[in-house]
Structure 1
Amino acid sequence: MFWPDTISKKLGIEYPVIQAPMFGVSTTEMVAAATRAGCLGSLALADLSADQTVALIRETRTLTNLPFAANIFVHHIPEITDALKDKYLKTKQFIEQLALEHHIEVKLPDLEEIKVNSYHEQVDAIIQEQCKIVSFTFGNLDDKSIQKLKENGTILIGTCTSLKEAQILEKSGIDIICVQGIEAGGHRGTFDADHILQIGGLSLLSHIYDHVNVPLIYAGGIYNAKTLRAVKDLGAQGFQVGNLLLASQESALLPFEKERLHNVKEEDILLTKSFSGRYARGINNKYIQAVENSEYILPYPYQNKLTNALRKAAKSLQNPEFAGIWIGQSIHQYSELSAEEILKKLIWECEDRLG
């Protein structure tokens, strides 16, 4: 049998293949499509409010009655100090002027207008809606939340980018650990927003496999049967794919963004904090070049909230130079078939060619 069955049995799915959450790219339709392929769909809830969380869970349930994961951000929220207020104002002015110089008129929010949500209200909403699989990133859940979710019979999937983070997750009783390789697109799941461990994903996976005893999902660079087989041989029992689904029918990316994917080159892809204040892997553009090494980057989530209107304006203008287009290092054809067909093709390739 090609597929390890530890994770699929635990999650109640046919194949241990997980659709990456990808907040802003994935949709409820993509989650449902993944479940139809026998995989685990991941509903990206990021740091939404409790009401928004409930609404998206209920919408997803109208599209599928199969298991899916609710994915949340468990980041630290920095205290608002006078220094942060001052830096926010300067950053806001700089980015508005930068946008204007490139013919984008946008009014970014004042600090007082920003609403920052704690994940704790999401935990309560998820329990209320009886979601039995929760994945999370940017840190670890606090002990009380872990206890509440466990008492509700919830399976917990934490994200790590280092052995130290994996051991923290294991010690706190997390059921499954997703090892995110540095190759992965989008935001790094690292606990420390300012520190990136410079180790390749395959080396990291092998190292963590030797030191922890919970089942491992691997994310980062999986785009065909060969790459999936490679991480399976290194100990992964689950396989998370996101880059493979970026241009799918259910993706929220607009046509101009999908077109940019089809033209991307290796040297275009980089890690940047410029859009959100946390490192994320995406496509280089004029905005990143102007902001990345400047003093105008606020801590997450304030940079992310500040630049949201700019990214929306860039989308409306079909301007890839000011849109955050997240992408992993494994460049491929970026199929525009449905996510269900893409995942079924991956599964078939694994079973037919490698099984």
Structure 2
Amino acid sequence: MKWVNDITKLLGIDFPIVQAPMFGVTTPEMVANTANINCLGSLALGDLDAEKSVEAIRKTKRLTSKPFAVNFFAHNIPEITDTLKADYVKAKIFVEQLAKQNNLIITIPELDELKINSYDEQVDAIISENCKIVSFTFGNLDKRSIEKLKSSGTVLIGTCTSVAEAMILEKSGIDIICVQGLEAGGHRGSFALEDIPKIGGLSLLAQVSEAIKIPIIYAGGIYNSKTLLASKTLGASGFQIGSLLLGSAESALADFEKKRLRKVNESEIILTKSFSGRFARGIKNTFINATEQTEFILPYPYQNKLTSELRRVAKYNKNADFVNIWVGQSINEFSGQSTAKIIQNLIEQTECDSR
């Protein structure tokens, strides 16, 4: 298989394989492992503030001199209304009581105590750290941010979950589009919060490749050479892998989370808004089951902030029923090998199968 293409040239890498930016799973070590074998590592900054973003970027730079992407959430922050205030109180009481019933003692901050970060300060931090590859999800960047990043020589990678979203990104000057299929693990990259596109990945990929002219990275269900080659046939020039790396040595998942992951079956993997307020695909558990039966799910990022302390305490107590373990529909062995070794195995397998 010929790996060199428009994406490898644009990003300065040898192989167009992208390690997915999985906030809460990705570590600087995972990013460096990927970058050091000349693929694209992606540092997940999520909605961190500028100081913590810079800290993560600098830690990654100490581990690799190769190019890597930084990724953040391009989300809109809902206005705090009287309705949201009332809903927050109800949701807070529900989560605290549910935790107590399951021997987890938590104290959730009041709404006015939450620190909600926009991506504006991250853009400035990224530019100051001279990061030249930026990916984002949950929407499109505002015109001013696009201009600031492009003027500093940054390659921009946007995420789409529909043809319409892909066309918006292309029209606004984004360089590469990551097409995310419904089967992908973790959060949907959809612009919408509620009525998200429900089209399968390969069908979406084929349609997007016909609708736009800029390079495409495909994300969703790639876990071996056959799935990678299928996405290449349908128009992808880059191949993003996430779930394949969840069990890796560099993954931030705790041992008890990896153990739960390796026991999962397909009937346990669902889309849920229970932990964050945005649809994400992961393993069903007690918290999800209880929350999905209520009306106590706030819009992102408020639900995400609401459940943060619960997840922290549950992780400390090694309780898999109250942490979010995101995973896609393509179940695999979730190897504990290094990120580099897992990706190298995929490259070798693909080269063998494409002969």
Q: Which residue matches 1:233?
A: 233
Q: Which residue matches 1:348?
A: 348
Secondary structure in 1 matching 2:65? coil
Q: Encode CA deviations 1:53-86: one digit per residue, 9 max, x unaligned.
A: 1111111100000000010101000011111111
Q: Which residue matches 1:164?
A: 164
Query: How far apart are the structure 2 equivalents of 1:256 and 1:190?
Result: 30
What's the offset of the Cα at 1:4? 5.0
Secondary structure in 2 matching 1:325? coil
Q: Encode CA deviations 1:301-321: one digit per residue, 9 max, x unaligned.
A: 000001000011111111111
Query: How far apart are the structure 2 equivalents of 1:4 and 1:354?
Result: 15
Secondary structure in 2 matching 1:331? coil
The answer to whether the Cα contact below 8 Å between 1:181 and 1:220 also exists between their aligned partners in 2 is: yes
Match status 1:48 vs 2:48: yes
1:78-97 correspondence runs (5 A):
78-97=78-97
What's the offset of the Cα at 1:195? 1.7
1:39-78 correspondence runs (5 A):
39-78=39-78
Number of residue pairs the alignment of both structures matches: 355
Query: How far apart are the structure 2 equivalents of 1:26 and 1:125?
Result: 19
Match status 1:190 vs 2:197: no
Instruction: Give the aligned CA root-mean-square deviation in angstroms.
Output: 0.8
Flag as ranges the 4+ runs of structure 1 deviating above 3 A: none
Query: How far apart are the structure 2 equivalents of 1:174 and 1:224?
Result: 29
Q: Encode CA deviations 1:186-236: one digit per residue, 9 max, x unaligned.
A: 000000111221211000000110111110000000001110000000000
Secondary structure in 2 matching 1:231? helix
Q: Which residue matches 1:124?
A: 124
Query: How far apart are the structure 2 equivalents of 1:331 and 1:241?
Result: 13
Query: How far apart are the structure 1 equivalents of 2:210 and 2:4?
Result: 17
The answer to whether the Cα contact below 8 Å between 2:134 and 2:154 also exists between their aligned partners in 1 is: yes
Q: TM-score, normalised by structure 2?
A: 0.99
Q: Which amino acid aligns with 1:214?
A: I
1:196-275 correspondence runs (5 A):
196-275=196-275
Match status 1:299 vs 2:313: no
Q: Which residue matches 2:176?
A: 176
What's the offset of the Cα at 1:3? 2.2
What's the offset of the Cα at 1:38? 1.6
Q: Encode CA deviations 1:261-317: one digit per residue, 9 max, x unaligned.
A: 110000000000000000000000010011024110000000000100001111111
What's the offset of the Cα at 1:37? 2.0
Query: How far apart are the structure 2 equivalents of 1:199 and 1:145?
Result: 29
Q: Which amino acid aligns with 1:18?
A: V
Secondary structure in 2 matching 1:72? strand
Query: How far apart are the structure 1 equivalents of 2:280 and 2:13?
Result: 29
Point out where structure 2 has 5 or more consecutive residues left out of the alignment: none
Q: Which amino acid aligns with 2:297?
A: I
Query: How far apart are the structure 1 equivalents of 2:237 and 2:4?
Result: 6
The answer to whether the Cα contact below 8 Å between 1:2 and 1:354 also exists between their aligned partners in 2 is: no
The answer to whether the Cα contact below 8 Å between 1:37 and 1:341 also exists between their aligned partners in 2 is: no
The answer to whether the Cα contact below 8 Å between 2:158 and 2:178 also exists between their aligned partners in 1 is: yes
1:88-167 correspondence runs (5 A):
88-167=88-167
Query: How far apart are the structure 1 equivalents of 2:344 and 2:37?
Result: 6
Percent pairwise identity: 60
Point out where structure 1 has 5 or more consecutive residues left out of the alignment: none
Query: How far apart are the structure 1 equivalents of 2:195 and 2:45?
Result: 24
Query: How far apart are the structure 2 equivalents of 1:124 and 1:262?
Result: 40
The answer to whether the Cα contact below 8 Å between 1:120 and 1:145 also exists between their aligned partners in 2 is: yes
Q: TM-score, normalised by structure 1?
A: 0.99
Secondary structure in 1 matching 2:70? strand
What's the offset of the Cα at 1:24? 0.1
Query: How far apart are the structure 1 equivalents of 2:101 and 2:276?
Result: 21
The answer to whether the Cα contact below 8 Å between 2:285 and 2:320 also exists between their aligned partners in 1 is: yes
The answer to whether the Cα contact below 8 Å between 1:4 and 1:237 also exists between their aligned partners in 2 is: no
